[in-house]
């Protein structure tokens, strides 16, 4: 009798993520009517779009063996700069949006350069970036600024018709677009392969002649770009700019990446897993709101429990030598 092929260990975390997603969906559907209806699912994608975009950028950083604590602050900075320029200085959105995307990219690239050329710890550099971005944002304005520009109102109201009364909001469309681009970049480009190799082993990547420095700067620039784009999406979602926006979101992004099956030590993981991780976090929040009798703190408790479980899974089934692209 022929034996079934042995399951490779690097696939176990992503399969655990998929199983968790399906289990939560099944439990929610059994307990709450319409829990996974098309309308609720589309809202799930829309409500978590800015978190998902930031988490995709975070995935590349963690795949490379690093960490980025600045993503939430960059979202706040992007949103308040956008609102200030559009509402108070009447700069057209077509100029503001590329400007803030460039700002986020440059901030990320700057942190990557410090990590690369001065051999500084990513945790400390991005922690400094977090304080810097949040401080600048709060210096610009301590209060939320409402966006009344017709462009932002039009984007907020835009829907891609999906039949009947269903429609995919613009933010969800951007999220799915970034997801597709992230999958392509990680799986089918030299940059993606270099990122996996860098996370597997810095020294081995150098011996292989890979552009370690350029790749390291690139992943932080990409994370900065995704964070700035998440900030733009946040302004569409709330029709406002807020310097205090996305406080602590970097921790939610890290949680989504880990629950999505990416190793915190780098070198192994999937962009699609991060997408599932974001949806899992969103499903937990949706279930809490459906229950209507539980405190919102239960969301953090459940996420903490899931993180413990996935860290144990990673430690149990992934050996350092098994990290592959």
pLDDT at 68: 98
Question: What tokens appear for 50 in the block?
Answer: 């800015």
Virtual torsion, Cα 67, 73, 79, 85, nearest 10 deg:
-110
**Nearest CA to 268 among 67, 68, 63, 65?**
63
Percent of the chain with pLDDT over 90: 75
The pLDDT-based confidence of 7 (bands split at 50, 70, 90) is: low
* DSSP code per residue over 263-323: -TTSS---HHHHHHHHHHHHHHHHHHHHH-SS-THHHHHHHHHHHHHHHHHHHHH--GGG-
49, part of any domain? yes
pLDDT at 299: 85
Range of the domain at 311: 9-322
Virtual torsion, Cα 207, 258, 230, 325, nearest 10 deg:
30
pLDDT at 265: 86
Mean pLDDT of the chain: 91
The CA angle 79-94-242, to the nearest 5 degrees, is 10
Q: Buried (b) or exposed (e) across 198-219, using 16+ Cβ within 10 A? A: bbbbbeebeeeebebeebbbbb
124, part of any domain? yes
Residue 61: count of CB within 10 angstroms of its CB:
30
Q: What is the DSSP secondary structure assignment for residue 2, as one 8-state letter? A: P
* DSSP code per residue over 93-143: HHHHHHHHHHHHHHHHHHHHHHHHHS---HHHHHHHHHHHHHHHHHHH-SS
pLDDT at 317: 65
Q: What is the pLDDT of residues 89-116, one digit of tens each?
A: 999 999 999 999 999 999 999 999 999 9
Highest mean pLDDT pick, 29-33, 97-101, 294-298: 97-101
In total, how many domains does the chain have? 1
78, part of any domain? yes
From residue 101, alpha-carbon distances to 94, 95, 128, 230 in Å are: 12, 10, 20, 10
pLDDT at 1: 42
Q: What is the pLDDT of residues 245-264, one digit of tens each?
A: 999 999 999 999 999 999 98
Task: Give the SS3 label for residue 158.
Answer: coil
293, part of any domain? yes
Q: Which phi-psi region, left, alpha or beta, contains residue 266 (left: φ > 0; alpha: ψ -120 to 50)?
A: left
2, part of any domain? no
The pLDDT-based confidence of 321 (bands split at 50, 70, 90) is: very low
In a 13 Å sphere around the CA of 81, the CA atoms on its Cβ side amount to 25
| For residues 24-39, average pLDDT | 88
pLDDT at 179: 98
The pLDDT-based confidence of 319 (bands split at 50, 70, 90) is: low
Task: Give the SS3 label for residue 35.
Answer: coil
pLDDT at 318: 60
pLDDT at 4: 39
Q: What is the pLDDT of residues 259-272, one digit of tens each?
A: 999 998 889 899 99
Q: What is the pLDDT of residues 175-223, one digit of tens each?
A: 999 999 999 999 999 999 999 999 988 888 888 889 999 999 999 999 9
pLDDT at 313 over 90: no
Q: What is the pLDDT of residues 148-169, one digit of tens each?
A: 999 999 999 999 999 888 999 9
| For residues 18-39, average pLDDT | 90
CATH number of residue 17's parent domain: 1.10.3470
211, part of any domain? yes
254, part of any domain? yes
pLDDT at 324 over 60: no
pLDDT at 278 over 60: yes
Euclidean distance between CA atoms 154 and 258, whole angstroms:
35
The pLDDT-based confidence of 22 (bands split at 50, 70, 90) is: very high
Sign of CA dihedral 291, 295, 296, 300: negative
24, part of any domain? yes
């Amino acid at each position: 009798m022929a034996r079934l092929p042995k399951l490779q260990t690097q696939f176990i975390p992503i399969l655990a993520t998929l199983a968790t997603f399906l289990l939560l969906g099944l439990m929610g559907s059994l307990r709450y009517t319409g829990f996974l209806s098309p309308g609720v699912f589309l809202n799930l994608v829309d409500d978590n779009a800015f978190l998902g975009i930031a988490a995709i950028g975070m995935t590349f950083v963690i795949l490379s063996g690093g960490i980025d604590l600045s993503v939430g602050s960059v979202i706040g900075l992007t949103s308040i700069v956008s609102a200030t320029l559009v509402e108070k200085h009447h700069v057209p959105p077509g100029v503001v949006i590329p400007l803030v995307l460039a700002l986020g990219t440059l901030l990320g690239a700057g942190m990557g350069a410090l990590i690369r050329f001065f051999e500084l710890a990513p945790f400390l550099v991005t922690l400094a970036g977090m304080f810097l971005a949040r401080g600048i944002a709060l210096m610009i304005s301590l209060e939320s600024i409402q966006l009344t520009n017709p462009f932002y109102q039009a984007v907020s109201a835009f829907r891609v018709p999906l039949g009947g009364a269903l429609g995919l909001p613009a933010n969800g469309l951007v999220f799915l677009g970034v997801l597709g681009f992230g999958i392509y970049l990680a799986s089918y480009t030299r940059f993606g392969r270099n990122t996996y190799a860098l996370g597997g082993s810095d020294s081995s990547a150098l011996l292989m002649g890979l552009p370690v420095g350029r790749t390291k700067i690139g992943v932080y620039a990409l994370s900065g770009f995704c964070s700035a784009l998440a900030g733009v999406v946040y302004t569409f979602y709330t029709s406002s700019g807020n310097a205090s926006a996305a406080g602590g979101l970097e921790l939610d992004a890290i949680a989504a990446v880990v629950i999505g099956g990416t190793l915190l030590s780098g070198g192994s993981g999937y962009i699609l897993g991060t997408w599932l991780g974001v949806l899992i976090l969103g499903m937990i929040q949706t279930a809490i709101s459906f229950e209507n009798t539980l405190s919102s703190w239960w969301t953090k408790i459940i996420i903490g429990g899931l993180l413990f479980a996935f860290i144990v899974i990673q430690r149990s089934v992934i050996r350092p030598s098994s990290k592959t692209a």
